[in-house]
Amino acid sequence: MSIRIDRQRCIGCGKCAEICPGNLIVIDEDKKAFIRDPRDCWGCAACVKECTFQAIQYFLGADIGGKGTIMYVKKENNLLYWFFKKPNGEKEVIVQNPNDNTTY
């Protein structure tokens, strides 16, 4: 499991690099984000949530039951939309209100 960064979508804002707890994401000379070594990513998904341009996708590999599903996040009106694109073409969306994260 790791992230993938779409260089065409990346605007080089650096928010992903700032939020990465492992300091694994850096901005290169082209002002694009890249991950130093994807094998070191422990999958916290902080960068995925921080990127408002959907340039960072999280790969859910078979090792965690994702079977190649790709996940990315879009923020809109204080809500997080978690998009899941499965290898068979199916798509799912989960809507989350971050303000309700501690509500049970």
**If DSSP states are collapsed to H, E and C, what string results for 17-38?**
HHHCCCCCEEECCCCCEEECCH
User: Is the model's pTM score more than 0.85?
Assistant: no
pLDDT at 63 over 70: no
pLDDT, residue 38, reads 84
Looking at the predicted structure, is the pLDDT value of residue 1 above 70? no
- For the stretch 41-55, pLDDT in tens is 888 989 999 998 999
For residue 3, the surrounding DSSP H or E stretch is strand 2-5
Q: What is the mean pLDDT of the chain?
A: 89
Q: What percent of the chain has pLDDT over 90?
A: 53
